[in-house]
Structure 1
């Protein structure tokens, strides 16, 4: 169960939080991080298993719990803003294969703004956050 949860968590991180993926790889902390996160879900997994749920249901429930702990994807938020507000930049980055790297760089650049404005699942649609991140992206490209 632990192995499957680690694999599920890592796949979710790679798909939805590539900024975290790169940071963990750079610090060589992938296994440590995954072990800590999965350990936090094992009691739930054990309880569900003892209640008679199948392994696939347990993996699904615990995987969703682990994903919720990560919060909304700042990466995909940035990509969304790029595609809506900076269409030509987005297209150029996508065509050149640099979208992933630049979006990850933008997540780091915008991190203080995300934190200051309390970016969360509840505030993902907040216009103030959208405008602030749009301004940060504009500033980022002006300095490139």
Structure 2
């Protein structure tokens, strides 16, 4: 079960938080991070197993718990905004293979905006937040 959770977490991070994957570039650092996260939810996993819940439910609940601190994804937020509001730039970056790199740069560039709004799942649809991040993206693209 632990190995399955490690793989599910690895897949989640690869898709939703590639910036974390890059930050933990060394294989031992990333493997250590995954192992630590799975170890942290073992009490929950054992309790759910003891309660007799189906395996797929246990896996999902454990994944939700392990990824709570990774949501919402700033990477996905910026990728969607870039694609929706700056489609030509998005496509250019995608075609040149620099999309992930540029989104990670934009995450750093827009960090003050995210921090100002205390970016979380409750406010990710806030129109003012979207506008602040959109302006940050626009400014980044103008100076590049």
TM-score between both structures, scaled by the size of structure 2: 0.91
CA distance in 2, matches of 1:41, 1:98: 35
Give the RMSD, CA atoms, in angstroms: 1.7
SS at match of 1:29: helix
**Cross-structure match for 1:61:** 61
Moved over 4 A (4+): none
1:26 CA displacement: 5.5
Q: Does 1:36 align with 2:36?
A: yes
| Number of residue equivalences | 144
**Cross-structure match for 1:103:** 103
TM-score between both structures, scaled by the size of structure 1: 0.91
1:133 CA displacement: 0.6
SS at match of 1:56: helix
SS at match of 1:122: coil
CA distance in 2, matches of 1:90, 1:130: 17
CA distance in 2, matches of 1:74, 1:95: 22
The answer to which of 44-53 and 24-33 deviates more is 24-33
Bigger proportion of residues as helix: 1
SS at match of 1:25: coil
| Structure 2 residues not aligned, in runs of 5+ | none
CA distance in 2, matches of 1:25, 1:34: 13
1:118 CA displacement: 0.8
1:31 CA displacement: 2.1
**Cross-structure match for 1:133:** 133
